[in-house]
Chains A and B, each alone.
Chain A
Amino acid sequence: MNGIRRTVWSAAAVAAIALVAVACGASSSPSGTTSKGTITVGGFNFPESDILAQVYGQTLAHDGYTVNYKLELGARSIVVPALQSGQIDLYPGYAASELEYLNHGKGEATADPAETTSKLNTYLSAIGAEALTPSAAFDGNAYAVTKATADQYNLKTLSDLTGVADKLVFGAGPECKTYKFCLPGLTSVYGLHFKNTLVLDTDGPATRAAFKNGTIQVGLVFSTDADLQQLGLVVLQDDKHMIAADNVVPVIRTKAATNDVTGILNKISAGLSTNDLFTMNGEVSLQHMDADAVAKSYLQAHNYFS
């Protein structure tokens, strides 16, 4: 049975080659120096989250921890359960959004970061995690119009939209219809009733495309987006303080929250500013630099906040 033997040998050869190829490419084992422990950092699927995860992660690595990354995971519905089950130890959250996710949209967040974070911690303790000290760096919902629309109706604040909202189309992501600080907030606090509301993506390429081709005139963006000016968008001021405190705050499993680790993370949060976010976002989104490279030069410039 020559044919069968040949088949078996050929299959074995192919398998062997494949195995060798895979093995050769496999990541190298860690170096000999002992590490202070292993921490897995997670992140959402937008560039700023990559950047923040790298900023926190690289500082921990600089201090002697072994850091693994699980980035671009998706929305909170993937990230938070991953934290709960221990697949990630830490992720850079936004205080108000984390709270409203865990309390199923009750609307408990306020414009005050400290108050919002302490409420957040009552929910996080139930899943074995905690939020550290919130940073001054803020990246929350922002409602923008095209410059043409702003000029046409003389719009500077969200209150200015009352009265003209029914002539305009609004676009946001899937969670906007039910998120208190999105469409419900615009309706209840500002009395806005748009001509139509389109479900696009949460500050993603679809929203941008919709702005560009005039499908929407008002849309949800995030306040530190780098390309707002390039897109010709004007953010309307939240004069009635509807938007809640989406300050950057590390969310970490209690098991991983040693004094050393929390000390390091808090120092970073203290040094991080909204402008830093804006600058780094620009480098990644506009100049196509890598998040880890951008985080590295930022940290080196600040001497790793040590």
Chain B
Amino acid sequence: MAGGVFLDIVDPWINWNWLSTHIPTVLAALQQHVMLTAIAVATALVLSIPIGVVAHLWPAVRVPTLGALGVFYTIPSIALFALLIPYTGLTGTTAEIPLIGYNLLVLVRNVVVGLESVPPDVLDAADGMGYRRFARLVRIELPLALPAMFAGLRIATVSTIGIVTIAAVIGIGGLGQLILKGLIENFHTPLVVATILSIALALFLDLSLAGTQRIALPWSRKQ
């Protein structure tokens, strides 16, 4: 019925007075959010390279690895956060473990796809030039896999920003705390502010990564 409209009469969607007096609170939440995201993405990135290489080199490992990561991916974050509390407590670790797990699927898959997309001619040429297996991997194959890895990095970063908001349900900070505050206190402003900042942060990081890729890998332009 008119339940929702009633609420609007009580509160404007953005209460500028509240916003202007709470900039520090909002910025603190944003900073926590960036930290949580950065740790999750960076850790997963570092782990994904060895895991991806192993999965690429030994096909018998690839299917179970991607399969296990894929199943983990389907579990809703809120359930994993709650389940980890008895084991890892109310720390950032409880939030990070599921986030890293989700990012691993995206990043490992992209490492594998990237390595697989190296043209066989290039591999032959490298072998012909005398590269040994490991050197070929590090100096030829991985660099050529970078565009795929960058694509995965962008996806992982943007997804993580959204999922971190849910960690607020178990008391971990970030923009999700503002969303929860808005929900519990029937107050629109923190909710709207958190939504806008979350989207802005995601777009900013996505464009930054795209820009970094252009600068670092100019030959991969049309990906």
Query: Do chains A and B directly touch (beta carbons under 8 Å) in the complex?
Result: yes
Chain B neighbourhood of A78, CB < 8 A: 85, 90, 170-171
Assembled-state Cα–Cα distance A215/B180 (Å): 24
Residues in B13-68 with C-beta less than 8 Å from chain A:
15, 18, 22, 25, 27, 31, 34-35, 38
B204 interface residue (CB < 8 Å to A):
no
Which of A5-13, A103-111, A140-148 interfaces with chain B? A5-13
B122 interface residue (CB < 8 Å to A):
no
Chain A neighbourhood of B89, CB < 8 A: 82, 85, 87
Closest to A47 in B: B185
B90 touches A288 (CB 8 A): no
Which of A54-62, A66-74, A128-136 interfaces with chain B? A66-74
B85 touches A212 (CB 8 A): no
B1 touches A213 (CB 8 A): yes
A45 interface residue (CB < 8 Å to B):
yes
A10 touches B212 (CB 8 A): yes
Assembled-state Cα–Cα distance A240/B189 (Å): 42
Interface size of B by CB at 8 A reads 43
A189 interface residue (CB < 8 Å to B):
no
B180 touches A45 (CB 8 A): yes
A22 in complex: contacting residue of B25, B31, B212, CB < 8 Å: B31
Residues in B69-99 with C-beta less than 8 Å from chain A:
85-86, 89-91
A14 touches B35 (CB 8 A): no
Chain A neighbourhood of B143, CB < 8 A: 1, 3-4, 7
Chain A neighbourhood of B31, CB < 8 A: 22, 25
Which of A167-175, A201-209, A251-259, A263-271 interfaces with chain B? A201-209
Chain A neighbourhood of B181, CB < 8 A: 72
B177 interface residue (CB < 8 Å to A):
yes
B196 interface residue (CB < 8 Å to A):
no
Chain B neighbourhood of A205, CB < 8 A: 183-184, 186
Chain B neighbourhood of A6, CB < 8 A: 215-216
B203-223 Cβ-contact flags toward A at 8 Å (1 or 0): 000001000100111110000
Assembled-state Cα–Cα distance A208/B185 (Å): 11
A46 touches B90 (CB 8 A): no
Chain B neighbourhood of A22, CB < 8 A: 31, 34-35, 38
B2 interface residue (CB < 8 Å to A):
yes
B217 touches A7 (CB 8 A): yes
Chain A neighbourhood of B218, CB < 8 A: 3
Chain A neighbourhood of B18, CB < 8 A: 288
Chain B neighbourhood of A18, CB < 8 A: 38
Given A11-B216, A78-B90, A82-B89: A72 in contact with B3 (beta carbons within 8 A): no
Say how far A33's CB is from chain B's closest CB, in angstroms.
23
A64 interface residue (CB < 8 Å to B):
no
Closest to A211 in B: B3
Residues in B155-174 with C-beta less than 8 Å from chain A:
168-171
A285 interface residue (CB < 8 Å to B):
yes
Assembled-state Cα–Cα distance A225/B185 (Å): 11
Chain B neighbourhood of A212, CB < 8 A: 1-3, 6
B186 touches A208 (CB 8 A): yes
Given A10-B212, A25-B31: A72 in contact with B139 (beta carbons within 8 A): no
B192 interface residue (CB < 8 Å to A):
no
A96 interface residue (CB < 8 Å to B):
no
Closest to B2 in A: A213
Closest to B143 in A: A4
Chain B neighbourhood of A3, CB < 8 A: 143, 216-219
A214 interface residue (CB < 8 Å to B):
yes
B187 interface residue (CB < 8 Å to A):
yes
Assembled-state Cα–Cα distance A176/B183 (Å): 21
A81 interface residue (CB < 8 Å to B):
yes
The 4 A-B pairs of least Cβ separation, nearest first, read A213-B3, A73-B171, A213-B1, A10-B216
22 of the cross-chain contacts (CB-CB < 8 Å) are A3-B219, A6-B216, A7-B143, A7-B216, A14-B212, A22-B31, A25-B27, A25-B31, A45-B184, A72-B171, A72-B177, A74-B170, A87-B89, A87-B91, A209-B3, A212-B6, A213-B2, A213-B3, A288-B185, A288-B187, A290-B22, A290-B25
Chain B contact residues, CB within 8 Å of chain A: 1-4, 6-7, 15, 18, 22, 25, 27, 31, 34-35, 38, 85-86, 89-91, 139, 143, 146, 168-171, 177, 180-181, 183-187, 189, 208, 212, 215-219
Chain A contact residues, CB within 8 Å of chain B: 1, 3-4, 6-7, 10-11, 14, 18, 21-22, 25, 45-47, 70-74, 78, 81-82, 85, 87, 204-205, 208-209, 212-214, 284-285, 288, 290
Could you list 5 further interchain pairs (A-B, Cβ under 8 angstroms) beyond the known A25-B27, A78-B85? A1-B143, A45-B184, A73-B171, A74-B170, A78-B170
